[in-house]
Amino acid sequence: MIYPISFFNGCESFYLPTINRNSMTILVGCSGWSYDDWIGRFYPLYLANRKEEWLRYYAQFFKTVEINSTFYRPPSEFIVRSWISKAASLGEFEFSVKLPQLITHDSLVNGKIEAAGRQAQSFEEICIAPLAKKDLLGTALIQLSPYFKYDPDSISSLSTFLSSIACDRYRYAIEFRHRSWLDDSRNQIIGEVTDLLKKFDVAMVIVDGPGFPFTDQLTSYHSYIRFHGRNYDIWFDGEKEDDFRINRYDYLYSEDQLRPWEKRIRKMQLEAKEIRVYFNNHGSAKAVKNALQMMDFLSIPHREKEVQVQNQMKLGTFNSSRYLDESEMNHNFQISRSDRA
């Protein structure tokens, strides 16, 4: 399915999705877009040395992306401005951003709550607020450390931290990663915790992956779902030398594994005004393939794309010539350039 909205730049015609923010919205995308092993599988070969064009190409298929690079290092003002500049030509598009690990995996874990609040406020000022001002912000993701465990002190710390950030101004979602946050059923978050999230209107991240069970509690007007893949055998033990998977996120969901999510997401629609779904199983562009499949299940129109995920190899052995797409190689090379993300 092709979107009827397009713009023409040079000899390249781009078809861009649009976001209707006045109605119930389901947005599906990937966790990141800048992966070398997506060349020849999702990105056409003529873009191999044109990374500055990858986001523009990605935006032809998806309205949203989750930026994970902010977790490893807070972006500079220059980088944020470059995202804003690029998005200006992408139609209606948005970025969800992950809070830096300095906040979630250092300050919060080590009980430095005031420092965590100051760091989060700085991140809001540098990254979140500029994106929101241009209507480019999806959700700010707080991915807690697996070492941040449930206890009375942690609840107090979390409450103090949420009080320090602008939950009333920006969409926030929080991902729990230690099973101590589960109640006695072992598949739902403790009621005391969900009550806290509801108080601050923070969405609880719903996860499909080996590290945490599926939970279906909604704590805000918006919902956030992350697909990490199901590589149970290497999730905790690490990659094996003779394993041809790139990493623990190199996993392709089958249609049978994805189909139950259609019913779950339809059920969420009854309570959540906005639902964001991100596929983090990025190895060999598997996230792209599964994201497009999910959009089909949910009857979300999108531009068609055959994603080649077979013949996966170890990181560092990618040979793009083995994934030649003649139709895309014959593409007019006069594609416009823009700044790199």
| DSSP-assigned letters across all residues of 100-145 | PHIIIIIITTTT-HHHHHHHHHHHIIIIIHHHHHTT-EEEEEEE--
Question: pLDDT digits over 245-293, tens only?
Answer: 556 678 999 999 999 999 999 999 999 999 999 999 999 999 999 999 9
Within 8 A by CB and 6+ apart from 251, the residues are 229, 230, 231, 245, 281, 283, 286
pLDDT-derived band at 24, boundaries 50, 70, 90: low
Classify strands 6-9 and 12-15 as parallel, antiparallel or unpaired.
Answer: antiparallel
Question: pLDDT digits over 280-333, tens only?
Answer: 999 999 999 999 999 999 999 999 999 988 644 443 333 333 333 333 333 332
Q: Look at residue 136 and tell me whether its pLDDT is greater than 50.
A: yes
Question: pLDDT digits over 139-169, tens only?
Answer: 999 999 999 999 999 999 999 999 999 999 9
The residue that leads in pLDDT, 341 or 15, is: 15
**Residue 250: what pLDDT?**
83
**Residue 240: what pLDDT?**
55
Query: Are 29 and 60 contacting, i.e. CB atoms less than 8 angstroms apart?
Result: no
Residue 293: its H or E element: helix 286-297
pTM of structure: 0.83
Please report, as a single letter, which amino acid is at residue 90: L
Query: Are 258 and 230 contacting, i.e. CB atoms less than 8 angstroms apart?
Result: no
**Residue 11: what pLDDT?**
35
Question: pLDDT digits over 57-70, tens only?
Answer: 999 999 999 999 99
Question: pLDDT digits over 183-218, tens only?
Answer: 999 899 999 999 999 999 999 999 998 888 889 999
- Cα torsion at 240, 286, 80, 315 (round to 10°)? 30
Helix axes 152-164 and 191-200, enclosed angle (nearest 10) = 10
Q: 286 to each of 37, 227, 323, how far by Cα in Å? A: 10, 11, 15
Please report, as a single letter, which amino acid is at residue 251: Y
The residue that leads in pLDDT, 305 or 24, is: 305
Neighbouring-strand partners of residue 12:
9
Within 8 A by CB and 6+ apart from 268, the residues are 216, 218, 223, 275
Q: Look at residue 33 and tell me whether its pLDDT is greater than 90.
A: yes
Domains of the chain: 6-329 (3.20.20.410)
| DSSP-assigned letters across all residues of 155-185 | HHHHHHHHHHS-TTTS-EEEE--SGGGB-TT
Q: Look at residue 48 and tell me whether its pLDDT is greater than 60.
A: yes
The residue that leads in pLDDT, 129 or 15, is: 129
